[in-house]
Structure 1
């Protein structure tokens, strides 16, 4: 359990009286150096075996299977710990602790990565307990993301080899240790159910009994991994380790942290990004019972109280005059006009195959289309929050973040406290979707906390979170397609205009003017198209900050590509499924999921008037997917999604149950975004405030979702974001089938409610 909690978390299951010393848990938050890989094995009360980069857990009684918020000590392994490489701890009782550098926000990786370890280590999954890793990029560097991050649908792709190797290495050392004790050849022994067995003599030793011996044995550099036909854990539907505590309310999220003498702060941000506080009248706020102080900073005001209600009432009583700055009159229409003007320029070339001018000139016909997509907010169910205790020369931080090392950086920037004196306790996330890939909330919380005596939890209300998010960018796409005499694309010229998240978030990856995320999917189309030119034009939306939103590049690009392919099929008088099939001969995995989804959805069978089916194919994140959505559009132009058939080829599946759940959740998230999702700007301000005007799909509106998982021997692909990325175009194409109206802008419902032939206003 994290130091200074005043409650015992059932997730940690620590025995009464067990505590970790805050003074012994300082984190080295150095950045970007080394790939984490391997396992850590530690002790319960004394002595243990560590296989990792030297990552022992804090001492204390053994924990049962589940998730613990115990913080590990990276700097100095306890005596007797074996520490050649990374993430598993085995105690003398045989229990395995997996130190997780990835964070759980609903995607199921705590269970799936535990399954990788359990498979190769030959232990029951019930014997695995998880602990959050501290910020440490030397040990927890993810090469797919360039840091210690969770995102990009990379967790299993990243862990697939390193975690299995770590488990196999630990198993090999344990077998060698047992063989040495028995004075037999290791090849005559095998690991089984958390023990080592010598079949010839019937002797058996538990892993806990072998910890001390194993610490004296050399660690092999190369170990043999199991073949898929030997898997007993991987590939089996498995209930999630974090399911029960989340279900019964005992799971600890950042919002659940309670510390002795903790105060609560409510943030009020400047309504215009880039604006400043001009003046504050806090006289009434300070009279609210329970209000302790008001903190005024450059662009925020925080009210600190004895409890949340006092702080919230105090914040409502503030009289703040803001200086909007130069962006106080900006509207959404201004931002789209900026992008349309930018589209007239030549962009940075992301991909070029053949001579695009020649290809278009020689085409039998041409087709032009433009697409618009709005800002989107994340709106996770757990609003952003951060608890800090800033002292004279140290700081402790409790939060839920996808970027723990960046969070430490922001505390350092706000307080000046050295990074090695900042301790961060990471927690489960009540939704992330990319919002917690940012650390702006941590910086602002630290700036407030350094002015507060004692620990303080800084909370953003839902309204503050929606109106001061770091938004999915708005985009404008222009596409010109050259077609042959049969209506098949032979030349494809595509311009993407929009903000560059990469240039801000990972500047070294922004090369030659190309944002690799914004053009993702477009530079690797699954369809057979000869001549191609993909361009990117960076156009920042003035003062609005932009960031990741559950697969930004594939989400936005798939809507454009699959909407356009559908439109080309109709133009060619072809069935949309058959048209795609004819273009996917060189991408058999994509064609296979298309065929399966079409059969699942009974493609081609008649539907009632006002209903329609739409199809969308996706190849992204290392996975292939097809969705067929069935919708009904009523006389008020409201869209009701009745059914979604989804076929997924995500390579080898670690936990099929999690994959299916991720598809369901991603589809629901994507339906919300495609039908209603939109953040608009007027007078420099975000107009939406809460779920009343930032609409989400409701339980009774959820369609029947059928998921077919393709059995595959390929390496695992990503699954957290593809569902959201694929559904938007399927819905747009289904709306066309139901209404005859082709919509090239989102959100779909607002577009439908705009009279045909007119453009929906983006000023409100």
Structure 2
């Protein structure tokens, strides 16, 4: 059993007068538990009422990562109740919950221990209450299925019956968590709690919001990045049946109507004049600039171990390759939307956001009101992937509501979404490797250029610390194209170049690609050069497992070619083997094996879904997706031009296994994505002898980039 001090976890939210026991717990901090203020300063809470109803307030937004299913599993495990006896509510935005962000694959990672502690404390207090009520020894009592049972006498009392007495008890300074070997719920398969509601179309999402007097708003935005609003003429728009108002707010023009269709028809005939504020860019110019900049070093490299110039001049074999990735849209399944009602100096908002606290402060600044006068409600969300880390949709809705003096439901069409995103930044990275005369990898240089913001290199990532002469140069190309986080930021670009280039190096060295990585990991562990930002043993555990799963190098099937890649992000280590078969002269991804070390798995069903979804998402973007710009505007408009994987293109099987470990959970929503592109690229090389160095992959034609 794991002993846990109160000083590291528990605070009392409040003590209800005989009706419910409310236990709060510190989500991120390890605040002292002494004194009245600490006791009544919680960040989140669990309630058990006199009827035995257990309610867990889920502090983080549910964006498809499964927290509404997994968090109650954690609580139920420590309370010794059935999973479905815990009722889950999405918590409103409130400082008492601490950070309520859904991003960085952090929800389960950050909540696992605090929720266990809260459940264990509730169980201990209920047990103490029962023992006192029966005048028996506490150690003779145990919790089981929502009851406290006195084993010698057979007496039992429900949690609800004990709430009033438990609420009056002092909080224990130490509680003992359940021994993981006794887990009955954590690590099992439980289907998504909202499955039935989702498949039957019940209201769950922000887009389902309906309020009395609400108008639907569609917005006319600048037709290109670099243009700004000047004026509008709504003469024809106001003639459209259902259109009620047209307002300019926040640099856009909104058409408000009684339905989304009426708003769209009104917007179609709206005349807006736009001014040029900055140059209108195009992707060809970006690529030209990238090509020049990757040959120019920076004054301050992001990492510089040893002497790369000396290695390059040593007479060893120099291998060079350039890898590039395009801009990408998030294209969430649920289009961007937000409800806002601004009146009397207050704002009520309800809709999809990954950062409710940042949304509140951004709305408050935009409206020039105090943050405490802004309320944010959080429905279930139809995807996030980093797009909803930006507060623009809520701010836009609030400004429109303020200008129109009406509650509004802001709606974005798919075209609005794809052409008005904060895109995954395009990047290009030029690699150089030096292989010594005795066949050792002695030098690595990567020079990366990224559009606008973000990165495509990880200074402390593998194979850093394993190569004696190692230099990374990172640059940004200034641009007015908005960019932002996209599923697995930095890693999604870095993995493609790093892991593909390592495969090239292995071929040049005539070494097995897996063996080369294991050799480098051993060097990083036993003879490190600088600091490694990765856990070598966890890395190797994932690699070893996928080798076993896929029968790496031992697959006897004809016309099946394997490619390997491994990467880490958000403290999770993922190794993948992609299998490619040739259909005519075209390679097709037929199967993917994936091994994951993400610490303890809470919900096996949800964990598998997260990883499989990440693989399919990553494969889709590797094969088909890109955003290009012409005269400042995104060329792609909808799914006919921003292409996604179709069922016919998907692997026939994606096999996922998890490394068994007692370590606490780490991130899972994103780490499965970065390795798939290089794994497939390396499999394509095994099948065709041609390197794929540019995404999206061109599998049907021969090009200078992919050849």
Aligned to 1:22: none
Name the SS for the 1:390 alignment partner: strand
The CA deviation string for residues 48-95 of structure 1, in whole angstroms up to 9 with x for no partner, is 11111699xxxxxxxxxxxxxxxxxxxxxxxxx998663211111111
Give 1:181-260 correspondences, 5 Å limit.
181-260=133-212
Separation (CA, whole Å) in 2 of partners of 1:663 and 1:162:
25
Separation (CA, whole Å) in 1 of partners of 2:337 and 2:453:
23
The answer to whether residue 681 in structure 2 is matched with residue 736 in structure 1 is no
Aligned to 2:79: 121
CA RMSD of aligned residues (A): 2.8
Separation (CA, whole Å) in 1 of partners of 2:9 and 2:64:
23
Give 1:273-292 correspondences, 5 Å limit.
273-292=225-244
* TM, length-normalised to structure 1: 0.83
Separation (CA, whole Å) in 1 of partners of 2:445 and 2:378:
45
Give the structure with the higher percent strand.
2
Separation (CA, whole Å) in 2 of partners of 1:176 and 1:534:
60
Name the CA shift for 1:153/1:452 in 2 (closer, same or farther; >3 Å).
same
Please, which of 12, 29, 49 is the counterpart of residue 21 of structure 2? 49
Q: Count how many residue pairs are aligned between Structure 1 and Structure 2.
A: 675
TM-superposed CA distance for 1:544, in Å, is 1.0
The answer to whether residue 326 in structure 2 is matched with residue 374 in structure 1 is yes
Aligned to 2:4: none
TM-superposed CA distance for 1:251, in Å, is 4.5
Aligned to 1:644: 592
Aligned to 2:96: 139
Point out where structure 2 has 5 or more consecutive residues left out of the alignment: 1-6, 28-38, 526-535
* TM, length-normalised to structure 2: 0.89
Name the SS for the 1:651 alignment partner: coil
Aligned to 1:333: 284
Name the SS for the 1:477 alignment partner: strand
Separation (CA, whole Å) in 1 of partners of 2:76 and 2:453:
37
Name the CA shift for 1:39/1:697 in 2 (closer, same or farther; >3 Å).
farther
Name the SS for the 1:327 alignment partner: coil
The answer to whether the 8 Å contact 2:499/2:566 transfers is yes
The answer to whether residue 514 in structure 2 is matched with residue 577 in structure 1 is yes
Aligned to 1:15: none
Aligned to 1:426: 378
Point out where structure 1 has 5 or more consecutive residues left out of the alignment: 1-33, 56-80, 142-146, 503-514
TM-superposed CA distance for 1:476, in Å, is 1.9
The CA deviation string for residues 164-219 of structure 1, in whole angstroms up to 9 with x for no partner, is 11111121222222222222332222222112122122221111112211221111
Name the SS for the 1:224 alignment partner: strand
The CA deviation string for residues 199-253 of structure 1, in whole angstroms up to 9 with x for no partner, is 1222211111122112211112332112211211111122222222222222510
The answer to whether the 8 Å contact 1:237/1:655 transfers is yes
The answer to whether residue 100 in structure 2 is matched with residue 172 in structure 1 is no
The answer to whether residue 502 in structure 2 is matched with residue 565 in structure 1 is yes
Separation (CA, whole Å) in 2 of partners of 1:276 and 1:90:
54
TM-superposed CA distance for 1:712, in Å, is 1.6
The answer to whether residue 640 in structure 2 is matched with residue 692 in structure 1 is yes
The answer to whether the 8 Å contact 2:323/2:430 transfers is yes
Name the CA shift for 1:499/1:218 in 2 (closer, same or farther; >3 Å).
farther
The answer to whether the 8 Å contact 1:359/1:531 transfers is no
The CA deviation string for residues 304-359 of structure 1, in whole angstroms up to 9 with x for no partner, is 0011110011111112232232222x111222333444441325443343333344
Separation (CA, whole Å) in 2 of partners of 1:184 and 1:310:
71
TM-superposed CA distance for 1:296, in Å, is 2.0
Please, which of 557, 561, 566 is the counterpart of residue 612 of structure 1? 561
The CA deviation string for residues 445-486 of structure 1, in whole angstroms up to 9 with x for no partner, is 111111223321010110000000011111122222222335
Aligned to 1:672: 620
Give 1:718-737 correspondences, 5 Å limit.
718-737=667-686
Name the CA shift for 1:581/1:758 in 2 (closer, same or farther; >3 Å).
closer
Name the CA shift for 1:640/1:268 in 2 (closer, same or farther; >3 Å).
farther
TM-superposed CA distance for 1:530, in Å, is 2.9
TM-superposed CA distance for 1:439, in Å, is 0.7
Give 1:481-560 correspondences, 5 Å limit.
481-485=433-437, 487-499=439-451, 518-520=456-458, 522-525=459-462, 529-560=466-497
The answer to whether the 8 Å contact 1:491/1:529 transfers is no
